[in-house]
């Protein structure tokens, strides 16, 4: 990480992280900062996921189906590991009886930029692997498809590839009674907002057992299964990123009874509301600001050395620290960064007085 970023970040009175996982990574990369970050989970607008589906919208109608559906919502980037979902889906179909999975489909939806080589390579790899696995697929988009992409017309594909979905399409997929699970494939994601979106809609989540999902998703160990005898709440499955392991987890999800699925749905919605709604996030931010104000005034002189030149910043405070002073300090940190990058060496030291 950039040394300058570490030095300027160290001046903050309060440091926030979006998960405990992020906080641990922060401590690893910024060893000179002894603050323990305060965790404030990102929130989502829960009301946005309760909107009624407008099936008269042609874009929405193009992604809905009565067929049982598994969905993945991720940008078409290599680090998102979308291939894991495709491989697990293929293994599920091969290891289960034909009758139980013949109508099952997988929707791979996400942002796609034809100008990015990474996006192009990932989409090419998905298409090539689908052909190798004998899975039919179609590519659709609410906007015109980028030139060079095949115009497929398979009426009932095994895999629907949806590029640059709309908000209405996303909500419709998450709220559809045909949607059985969300497959969240990234490893070591710092937080991961998509599992929260699924939980808000009561959809079970299958995710990698690393990063933020370890905090957002309630899961049972692989050796335990949901049953009436096991009343431990869960909202999904956390498994190592292995296609065979994921296929086994998907079998469990498909085998859920209506009562088990209802229990997971209710637990997921309740957890999303209490921990990951906008109100919960606002409360966390408010508490962090109040704690910063309680720290009172401070004085510090900070020196940044860069080659033969120097930068000095002095903040003098008097009286109780106010929210305006907190904002001032944030602005000063940015101003210092800008000056260090854009002003010539030898610029005279500057003093900021905050009252």
What average pLDDT does range 198-205 have in this prediction? 98
Complete domains list, the chain, with CATH = 3-41+283-354 (no CATH), 46-276 (3.40.50.2000)
Beta bridge partners of 69: 105, 179
Report which of residues 151 and 238 the model is more confident about.
238
Q: With b meaning 16 or more CB within 10 Å and e meaning fewer, what string describes 132-156?
A: ebebebbbbbbeebbeebeeeeeee
Say yes or no to pLDDT of 314 above 90.
no
What average pLDDT does range 193-199 have in this prediction? 98
- The pLDDT value recorded for residue 59 is 95
Instruction: Report yes or no: 80 and 238 within 8 Å, Cβ to Cβ.
Output: no
DSSP category for residue 227: B
Segment 288-305, tens digit of pLDDT = 999 888 887 765 544 433
Segment 318-329, tens digit of pLDDT = 344 444 444 434
CB atoms within 10 A of CB 225: 14
- Average the pLDDT over each of 25-29, 63-67, 88-92, 267-271 and give the range with the smallest value: 25-29
Q: Is 203 exposed, middle or buried (0-12, 13-18, 19+ CB in 10 A)?
A: buried
């Amino acid at each position: 990480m950039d040394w300058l970023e570490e030095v300027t970040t160290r001046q903050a009175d309060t440091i926030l992280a979006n998960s405990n996982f992020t906080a641990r990574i922060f401590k690893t990369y910024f060893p000179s900062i002894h603050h323990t970050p305060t965790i404030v989970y990102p929130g989502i607008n829960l009301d946005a996921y309760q909107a009624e589906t407008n099936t008269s919208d042609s874009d929405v109608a193009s992604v809905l189906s009565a067929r049982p559906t598994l969905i993945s919502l991720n940008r078409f980037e290599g680090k998102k590991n979308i291939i894991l979902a495709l491989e697990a889906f293929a293994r599920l179909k091969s290891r289960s009886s034909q009758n139980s999975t013949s109508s099952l489909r997988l929707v791979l939806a996400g942002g796609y930029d034809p100008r990015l080589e990474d996006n192009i390579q990932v989409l090419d790899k998905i298409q090539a692997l689908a052909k190798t696995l004998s899975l039919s697929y179609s590519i659709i988009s609410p906007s015109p498809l980028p030139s060079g992409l095949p115009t497929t017309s398979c009426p009932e594909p095994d895999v629907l590839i949806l590029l640059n979905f709309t908000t209405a399409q996303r909500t419709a997929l998450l709220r559809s009674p045909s949607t059985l699970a969300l497959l969240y494939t990234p490893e070591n994601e710092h937080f991961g907002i998509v599992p929260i979106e699924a939980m808000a809609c009561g959809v079970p989540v299958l995710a990698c057992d690393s990063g933020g999902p370890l905090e957002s998703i309630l899961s049972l160990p692989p050796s335990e299964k949901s049953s009436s005898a096991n009343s431990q709440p869960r909202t999904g499955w956390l498994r190592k990123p292995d296609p065979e392991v994921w296929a086994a987890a998907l079998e469990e999800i498909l085998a859920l009874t209506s009562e088990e699925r209802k229990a997971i749905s209710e637990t997921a919605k309740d957890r999303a509301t209490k921990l990951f709604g906008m109100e919960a996030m606002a409360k966390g931010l408010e508490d962090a600001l109040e704690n910063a104000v309680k720290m009172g005034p401070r004085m510090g002189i900070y020196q940044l050395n860069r080659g033969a030149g120097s930068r000095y910043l002095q903040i003098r405070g008097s009286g109780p620290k106010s929210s305006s002073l907190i904002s001032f300090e944030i602005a000063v940190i940015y101003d210092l960064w800008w000056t260090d990058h854009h002003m010539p060496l030898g610029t005279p030291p500057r003093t900021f007085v905050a009252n």
